[in-house]
Chains A and B, each alone.
Chain A
């Protein structure tokens, strides 16, 4: 019997314990409100954030990891509409069928912050300039090795997102993740006074100032002195490999986006232990890494670029100052007086046969062109200077024109000396300013062909 009582009492205690436990609150509430209320609140908060202060934002958009990113300006209105503006080759394709150059486009569509597992920014009616990256159609071929897409992408398209999980908001920046393809992107607030077309054209100009297909390679300069060579920058899909390593076996391609103030990789890159992602354009046109404030991207020194034996430089009449401006004027007058000819351009290019740089003047007389030529010997070249000496005589036409148009010969002699080099962009110095070292007023501009 005792045994029975013991069992009964134990059962009672156990049941009582169970009954007490069953009434205890499930878990101490972590949040003050339930999930629905919090989600509704988040939707309202992000809607307010997006539409406040003029509602203008810049989205750094990546459709996938094999194409460049593109900047879009988005102006969110409380009525549910959004004006989306961009300037890229896909917009040009929509407008003209051409993929050669970027074009500006702007269109109104609709947006909403909707609820899923969290707040989602959805562009929920079609905007032809933005949703083109999500259209499931074949991507037209673009011709270059890195961007040509001869495969049939029907059903896939660019595989870009137009719905984004809002991950967080910090410092006027929204951190987004594409809902279907999970690429991370950021939106930053832009002043409401910004004019979309002006802003986007500045982004396009920024891209041109960074990379130019005429400059075959630039360098990522790490703080430890190691350089990484960057090629194909103009495609915004950078071919990168460590200087000294084999290009063919080690080079990798990484896509970037040109922003209004610099450049960002889609994903952070770790080079020799240094993590780099965002670069800001410096006053000299080079790029400085915003993440470590040390790593830079530059091209070869100006002296090396100007004396590159494969490059051809041309100067249009009038593109000079001081003595060079004067000489251009006099040359025009003398040519007219001599045989009614005109000067098209002056050109500097290396000549393997004579191991000199040839300074020639392209002169047009009727349908005939003459190229009186003079010989410049490179005596020195450093980071920002070159020095030439000129041979006393030119070729046969050079001598003829020198005797009949003495300003041409004088132009040659003015160039034969020490010249300071400068350019608007150290990354794409395709327009080089040659200034006489003794007189800053005397300069002439040559453009890389």
Chain B
């Protein structure tokens, strides 16, 4: 009897428990809490042509949202940022396609950016200025998903150097981050300039960073930026820019100020007042130096438009390279690692990529590119 009562009680408990578990099973879920985004474009919209271009060339093709209308809430609220100018957004949208997406499509195949490309490109009108350090962020890659391009309102479509520095360079720099965040690069790269990175004061460094083996000052901030900068500069620098950088990398540098002085100016030339080696040498910036070459190939360097007390031109000397680093060799070594990494990790010919970008950079006609938007019906 005790057992029967026990079983009855136990059965009742199980039955009620089962009811309690199943009684809610027929509740219906409410509608989604997420907005039902209507991707239909309104032909009457002021921005219809650009929106259609972005949908067809980025969203439909790469599943990439190209944001030019900046909701402040989608950015880092610690910075004061403004939206991008509409017309500049059109220019950047077509240039991104021409100088970035179309390039990778051609060199790496269409599937490459569909797989590894960012999912969001965000245009921001201003730089992200850090009020404490004074540094400006002109590009940002976040988690392999989102790339932000800043200073869109400052862009001058007719200033190739500025366009290259602010946008084309940034595009490839940030994409390099996305790629190495997906497949890491060889540790060997990090050992080349070890001990010469300066994450806190890199922004005060000038051309002397080339001599230390870095392509830019920002590259000297840390390993990963060095890697991204090396790739970006190799791709977008014109041959003249690259050669100039390598020349600077081969120079010796000195400063008349203390090495601790953040505002110290570095010089690669010096002279003696009145050509008198007994006097204390004076450092000289390159812009004041004139170089002449004799018929036999002998190179002479003088202080431009200055003569000593006897009327002789003042001879200028190269500063001895005492940093113990072969800057040019270091840069080339880094490029070679990047080249191999592109080949082995991504099956991409970095040199072919560079050549394609160089060709397009040198020949694009912005008015023709704009037609991709303006001619949309």
Give residues in A with beta carbon < 8 Å to B: 1, 4-5, 8, 11-12, 15-16, 18-19, 22-23, 34-37, 39-40, 77-81, 109-110, 112, 114-116, 120, 122-126, 128, 131, 134-137, 154-157, 159, 162-163, 179-180
Contact = CB atoms under 8 A, between A and B. Distances in A.
A346 to B, nearest CB: 53
B117 interface: no
Given A4-B5, A79-B45, 5 more contacts: A35-B33, A80-B47, A122-B72, A124-B70, A180-B72
A159 B80 contact: yes
A22 B35 contact: no
A4 B9 contact: yes
B319 interface: no
B129 A134 contact: no
A78 B23 contact: no
B16 A19 contact: yes
Contact of A8 (B13, B80, B128): B13
Given A124-B69, A126-B125, A154-B134, A110 B81 contact: no
Contact of A131 (B24, B33, B125, B132): B125
Contacts of B16: 12, 15-16, 19
B167 interface: no
Contacts of A180: 72, 77
A162 B152 CA distance: 17
B126 interface: yes
Given A15-B20, A16-B16, A40-B35, A126 B84 contact: yes
Contact of B69 (A36, A110, A131): A110
Contact of B33 (A19, A34, A78): A34
B23 A19 contact: yes
Contact of B127 (A80, A136, A156): A136
A134 B80 contact: yes
B374 interface: no
A12 B23 CA distance: 16
A5 B13 contact: no
Contacts of B44: 78-79
B117 to A, nearest CB: 24
Interface string B92-136: 000000000000000000000000000000000111111110100
Nearest to B51: A80
Given A125-B83, A155-B131, A23 B24 contact: yes
Interface string B233-268: 000000000000000000000000000000000000
A11 to B, nearest CB: 6
Contacts of B125: 126, 131, 135
A136 B129 contact: yes
Contact of B6 (A4, A15, A23, A39): A4
B130 to A, nearest CB: 6
Given A124-B69, A156-B131, A22 B20 contact: yes
